[in-house]
């Protein structure tokens, strides 16, 4: 039986163990029909067409997992063309039947993925909340009273609810990130121009981006890489030159002072602060920065002439079908009539002046970490004040495309009642898309918030995103070098950062060594022992620092290969067996941290 969350690792494993694409499609059909949210899809791929797609895949590529996305089900926001299904942009009168897939969809299908349907959205991708559709408002998978985020509302809910492995959204102001935060997902927003927009109904053509909703950063990045690449048919498509970021000790910009605005939501503020501390524990240098020029740039997207681009996208249709628009969407788009060509140039001048101001802030940091959304609202609250409440969601997202940034949104945990999730996002300069991923993945794993609707599930080890192999050397620590322990500074001061926590396999025993300052444990492998494993952390060190660190380890400690409970083998601290003969065995405590804590309580 398949779990709720259909991440790539889980499905590939199931396929390798005998599951067929047709069997998966039958499961998807069952899940779609039993969903308690009727507003997720606008058009579902008919059941027989889904079955035919599974059979065609096996005929084309018989071997399981022989294509990068072999048999992987995905959903598509209904402003992105899928041949055979109508494109409506959540406006039935606007609907048309495309003869070809959007470039992104074509590339994903060629890689073996199967489209399960077109998802609901804020009409014409105008909104960040998900309530502006004649097909209803998709709801947060955690509370049906709350919005799912938009405009890519249905796409996010489809993944979080386990109806698809991933989905496509679009992001002009934050629509590929806010729904991720509200549904405990990862949202990958590429640098503008990295992924082609051919076959996408534009919102603001010059800053639109096709995005990915996934359950892990590793999945999202892998899917983005399949979609990306220059397409001359898109006038805004670009030849990407990947930019690098430090893989150790990155300088992360965080909000400070008056720029910290959460609209009274102390839970989200607390989760943001907790994410900052997790980033610090992973080796980041935390740098307060001035968000003001970024915020002022963000305000231009809806309170400046860029709103005229929304009118340009639907001008002729609005002239003949104004009554078919959602009232709020129509009011926003018609607001563009207040701007003229002079305003457009003046808006561009203001943006460039703000871009210059942001350069001073970028000089202080490698990338930013911001709340994905500072708060959330119920559907009733949003509908009662749709413009103002919607603008709150975009406070930290609206600038990213205007300022040519890459971004990855990740879960940050749940509020104090365990009720609603929140998220943070890493934002970097143009084409840092791959460079942001390792830290984003590490931060997601450190949050221990699960994936989508399943908040207790562990992220698969096989989807982990690591820095380039020549940039670091992993080492397992078990005692005084653990996070917040007395010797942890020996790792952090050399540029090391924590990759993950974990446990050894059951063949290891832990002893408290006598006469060590500060106190240290000794880890010994006993092939005949069958325990529950010992708590460890895996840290990454620059190669030169690793060499110096290993040379400085005092006897009877040393390094060797340690087998973890996921069967991986990593170099780490071990102890000579003779040294534990007179030491106290503490294996029963599960790890050094728990032993130290309980010893302090008994003292």
Cβ–Cβ < 8 Å for 297, 354 = yes
Cβ–Cβ < 8 Å for 50, 59 = no
Q: How far apart are CA 525 and CA 508, in angstroms?
A: 4
530-541 in b/e burial notation, b at 16+ Cβ within 10 A? ebebbbbbbbbb
- Name 524's bridge partners: 509
Contacts of 316 (CB under 8 A, 6+ apart): none
Active-site pick, 133, 140, 151, 167: 151
Active-site pick, 77, 118, 189, 453: 77
Closest CA to 398 of 174, 175, 208: 174
133 is catalytic: no
Cβ–Cβ < 8 Å for 198, 231 = yes
Host H or E run for residue 49: helix 47-60
189 is catalytic: no
Q: Which two tokens stand for residue 558?
A: 């040393």
* First-to-last C-alpha distance (Å) of the chain: 49
Ramachandran category for residue 592: left, alpha or beta (phi over 0 → left; psi -120 to 50 → alpha): alpha
Q: How far apart are CA 173 and CA 393, in angstroms?
A: 10
77 is catalytic: yes
Closest CA to 553 of 468, 459, 475: 475
Cβ–Cβ < 8 Å for 205, 236 = yes
Q: Which two tokens stand for residue 42?
A: 């606008």
Q: How far apart are CA 342 and CA 349, in angstroms?
A: 11
CA 256 to chain centre: 24
Cβ–Cβ < 8 Å for 251, 285 = yes
Phi/psi of residue 422, each to 5°? -140, 170
Active-site pick, 152, 155, 167, 175: 175
Q: Which two tokens stand for residue 317?
A: 């249709």
Query: Which residues are catalytic, by number?
Result: 77, 151, 175
């Amino acid at each position: 039986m398949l779990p709720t969350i259909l991440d790539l690792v889980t499905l590939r494993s199931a396929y390798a163990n005998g599951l067929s694409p047709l069997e998966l499609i039958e499961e998807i059909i069952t899940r779609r029909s039993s969903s308690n949210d009727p507003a997720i899809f606008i058009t579902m791929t008919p059941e027989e067409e889904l079955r035919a797609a599974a059979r065609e895949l096996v005929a084309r590529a018989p071997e399981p997992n022989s294509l990068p996305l072999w048999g992987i089900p995905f959903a598509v926001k209904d402003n992105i063309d899928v041949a055979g299904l109508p494109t409506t942009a959540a406006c039935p009168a606007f609907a048309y039947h495309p003869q070809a897939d959007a470039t992104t969809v074509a590339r994903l299908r060629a890689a073996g993925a199967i489209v399960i349907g077109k998802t609901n959205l804020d009409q014409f991708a105008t909104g960040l909340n998900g309530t502006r559709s004649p097909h209803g408002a998709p709801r947060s998978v955690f509370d049906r009273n709350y919005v799912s985020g938009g405009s890519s509302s249905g796409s996010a809910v489809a993944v979080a609810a386990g109806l698809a492995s991933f989905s496509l959204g679009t992001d002009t102001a934050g629509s590929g990130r806010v729904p991720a935060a509200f549904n405990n997902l990862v949202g990958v927003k590429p640098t503008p121009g990295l992924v082609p927009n051919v076959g996408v109904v534009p919102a603001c053509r010059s800053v639109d981006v096709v995005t990915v909703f996934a359950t892990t950063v590793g999945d999202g990045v892998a899917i983005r890489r399949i979609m990306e690449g220059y397409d001359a048919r898109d006038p805004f498509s670009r030849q990407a030159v990947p930019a690098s970021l430090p893989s150790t000790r990155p300088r992360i910009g965080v909000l400070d002072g008056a720029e910290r605005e959460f609209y009274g939501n102390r839970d989200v503020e607390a989760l943001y602060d907790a994410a900052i501390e997790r980033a610090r524990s992973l080796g980041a240098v935390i740098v307060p920065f001035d968000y003001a020029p970024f915020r002022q740039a963000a305000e231009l997207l809806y309170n400046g002439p860029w709103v005229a681009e929304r009118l340009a996208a639907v001008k002729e249709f609005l002239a003949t079908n104004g009554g078919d628009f959602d009232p709020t969407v129509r009011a926003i788009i018609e607001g563009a009539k207040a701007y003229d060509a002079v305003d457009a140039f003046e808006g561009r001048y203001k943006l460039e002046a703000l871009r210059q101001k942001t350069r001073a802030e970028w000089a202080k940091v490698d990338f930013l970490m911001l709340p994905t959304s500072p708060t959330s609202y119920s559907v009733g609250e949003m509908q009662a004040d749709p413009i103002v409440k919607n603008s709150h969601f975009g406070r930290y997202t609206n600038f990213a495309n205007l300022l040519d940034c890459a971004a990855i949104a990740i879960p940050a945990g749940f509020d104090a009642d365990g009720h609603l999730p929140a998220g943070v996002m890493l934002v970097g300069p143009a084409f840092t898309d791959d460079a942001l991923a390792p830290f984003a993945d590490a931060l997601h794993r450190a949050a221990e918030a699960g994936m989508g609707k399943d908040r207790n599930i562990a992220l698969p080890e096989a989807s982990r995103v690591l820095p380039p192999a020549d940039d670091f050397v992993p080492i397992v620590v078990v005692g005084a070098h653990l996070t917040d322990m007395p010797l942890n500074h020996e790792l952090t001061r050399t540029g090391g950062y924590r990759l993950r926590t974990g446990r050894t396999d059951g063949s290891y025993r832990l002893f408290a060594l006598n006469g060590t300052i500060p106190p240290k444990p000794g880890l010994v492998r006993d092939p005949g022992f069958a325990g529950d494993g010992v708590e460890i952390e895996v840290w990454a060190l620059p190669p030169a620092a690793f060499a110096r660190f290993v040379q400085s380890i005092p006897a009877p400690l040393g390094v060797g290969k340690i087998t973890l409970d996921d069967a991986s083998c990593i170099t780490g601290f071990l102890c000579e067996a003779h040294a534990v003969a007179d030491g106290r065995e503490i294996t029963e405590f599960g790890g050094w941290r728990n032993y130290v804590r309980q010893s302090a309580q008994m003292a």
